[in-house]
Amino acid sequence: MNERETLAAEPTQKATFAGGCFWCMEPPFEKLNGVTEVVSGYMGGSGANPTYDDYAAKGHVEAVQITYDPSQVSYPQLLEVFWRQIDPTDAGGQFVDRGRQYRSAVFYHDDEQKRLAERSRESLEKSRRFDSPIVTELLPASTFYKAEDYHQDYYRKSSIRYKYYRYRSGRDQYLDKVWGKERESFDPARDARADETKTDDNGQDYVRPSDDQIKRTLTPLQYEVTQQDATEPPFNNAYWNDKKDGIYVDILSGEPLFSSRDKYDSRTGWPSFTRPLEPRNIVEKPDNTLLTKRTEVRSRIADSHLGHVFNDGPQPTGLRYCMNSAALRFIPKETLEKEGYGEHAALFKN
């Protein structure tokens, strides 16, 4: 009898995982075939009836409980999805969320789940994918307390806030670095992330051109900025003072990056935005090249150097995405449909 048959004794079974913020742990499991329900809640503590205000004080962690049909999706497959959502080497929390209430854990519901979880963790350890030891705990499942209703499916109910939180948390940047394309095969729910390529309404893919194509198509300044991390002159670039309605896309891949609706005059001489149009297309990296800590901004698919983000912008985000015009191409609102960006046309109808 194989593992799938062993776990198929009941019509549905439960799996419970803790991976930091439970908002981020729902989407990867909800769209798996065979998963019928994913609930956010609290587990692992000693205090009864925890709430969002006191669950940490009662010793609980944020967790998701999954109801699944083992004839369609196996427990080992759920474990594979789980490992690809977390940093299993971090005992002090997950990404931007710190504290033991955000630590990672597998809560096993029976001896078979325990065995499979131990074997899965051991396999991950032996893979040497991580430089540090795996510290994710394997614990017996205890009473699961459902979290407040506003936490359930938060990524759907408050999608803008969720995407902004997830983008700023650093979770996807870390996971993409560790797993790359291997993560994709176990991550069918990519609500906060882009595919490696994306096809628009005209069948055009957002892809990074070859190095030869890049050298042939870019001007010297565009090449220096996007490929050599240069900065163009202020007040002497294409878009610093542009006020037309439309979106800004990566000059190489065409992936959508910023909207004129979020553009403002930062008086710096470079085009500045309060937030990305599609956060999933933006990658942030530490930059210490000027003997000071800055945050570099790059495009996800083309890997173009775009500029930097600073914490001195206006509300509602307080951020200033200071970009280089040489890394961008402007698509005016009148041609969004024609050029395959029709999904963004609604931004400019009011």
The catalytic residue positions are 21, 322
318 CB-contact burial (10 Å; exposed 0-12 / middle 13-18 / buried 19+): exposed
Amino acid (1-letter code) at residue 302: A
Containing H/E element for 178? Answer: helix 171-179
Q: In Å, what is the CA distance from 300 to each residue of 194, 206, 249, 289? A: 8, 10, 12, 21
Token pair of 259 as six digits: 């909207």
If one counts every other C-beta atom within 10 angstroms of the C-beta of residue 195, the result is 12
9 CB-contact burial (10 Å; exposed 0-12 / middle 13-18 / buried 19+): exposed
**What is the Cα–Cα distance from 57 to 50, expressed in whole angstroms?**
9
Contact 108/139 with Cβ under 8 angstroms?
Answer: yes
